[in-house]
Amino acid sequence: MRQPIFRGVATALITPTTKDGVDFPALEKLINWQIEEGINALVICGTTGENSTLTDAEHRAVLEFAIKVADHRIPMIAGTGSNDTSYAISLTRYACELGYDGVLVVTPYYNKTTQKGLVAMFTAIADASTIPVILYNVPSRTGVNIEPATYAKLADHPMIAGIKEANGNISKIVETASLVKGKLDLYSGNDDQIVPLMAVGGLGVISVLSNIAPRQTVELCNRFFAGDLVGAMQLQSKFLPLINSLFCEVNPIPVRAACAAMGYCENYLRLPLVTMDEGKRQIMLQQMRDLGLVLKEDA
């Protein structure tokens, strides 16, 4: 039986940048801290990693650098999705060559497609991959939703292993789980739905929250796995205000501000993203303090 790429929490890691380019020392610091805090896996160059504004050379350099720093300590997943299928295939092959444990492939955005097109696109990428593929469904960002019946058609592909589901519709997620019959590992793509999604068979979360609270997010999942549903839900509820702040503006604007406040990077974003509204940032920072997260200015 195929083993999951990971169980628990994979951080959808930010890509620290400055006006001069990718901040590799900051990236190394973040990766090491995440692993020291007990994270279960890392996703490199996903949406939170601002892959859409990385050049091809930067994207490949970040993938290469990150896997060298991780040095086989945890599973590593490369964000290789694109609305250009041939480019997604090229990045996927590169991630395979680097030794990644899996790839995360988002639905096509802007040009979009039909459900038939999704099957054709994901099949073409999976055919080119020698490592497991996680399908990423985030219709709020792409304008495309993967329907449960489409997941069922893709579930028999030997290289398609999982789903990062961020459609927010628990009923559709239950339908998907019933149709794929355990052939695809299910992960939450929404930090505010970690416990609900695990309750319908999910194995964990690909998380934005864990950029700043990796140990606590892992603890949430571990409580659930240990059968402590009340304890898991208490943590879900405890962190909900901060989760809401992390998404009060377009991701990764708030999480970059949060990471900067903790001293892990500069609060620098590439256009069209701009820095967080100061009033909202102050609310978020106070929520972080209330949860025991240490800010650089308070240390």
Q: pLDDT for 107-162, tens place per residue? A: 999 999 999 999 999 999 999 999 999 999 999 999 999 999 999 999 999 999 99
**Residue 2 has what pLDDT?**
76
List alpha helices for 129-277, DSSP H.
Answer: 139-142, 148-154, 170-180, 194-199, 214-225, 229-246, 253-261
Q: Are 154 and 136 in contact (CB under 8 A)?
A: no
Instruction: Report how many domains make up the chain.
Output: 1
136 is catalytic: yes
> How many CA atoms are closer than 13 Å to the CA of 9, on its beta-carbon side?
29
Here the CATH number for the domain that contains residue 166 is: 3.20.20.70
- Tens-place pLDDT, residues 233-259: 999 999 999 999 999 999 999 999 999
Q: Please state, in angstroms and rounded to a whole number, the distance separating the CA atoms of residues 77 and 136.
A: 12
Average pLDDT, the chain: 96
* 285 belongs to a structural domain: no
State how far the alpha carbon of 120 is from the alpha carbons of 113, 126, 223, 257, 266, in Å. 10, 10, 39, 38, 40
**Residue 298 has what pLDDT?**
74
* pTM to 2 decimal places: 0.97
Residue 136 three-state SS: strand
Q: Please state, in angstroms and rounded to a whole number, the distance separating the CA atoms of residues 74 and 81.
A: 22
Tokens (6 digits) for 92: 């996927």
* 250 belongs to a structural domain: no
* 244 belongs to a structural domain: no
Please pick, among 94, 136, 187, 264, the residue that the annotation labels catalytic.
136
* 238 belongs to a structural domain: no
94 is catalytic: no
* 234 belongs to a structural domain: no
Tokens (6 digits) for 43: 């996703």
* 39 belongs to a structural domain: yes
* 41 belongs to a structural domain: yes
- Tens-place pLDDT, residues 43-82: 999 999 999 999 999 999 999 999 999 999 999 999 999 9
pLDDT class for 219, splitting at 50, 70, 90? very high
Please pick, among 94, 164, 187, 264, the residue that the annotation labels catalytic.
164
**Residue 296 has what pLDDT?**
86
- Tens-place pLDDT, residues 183-194: 999 999 999 999
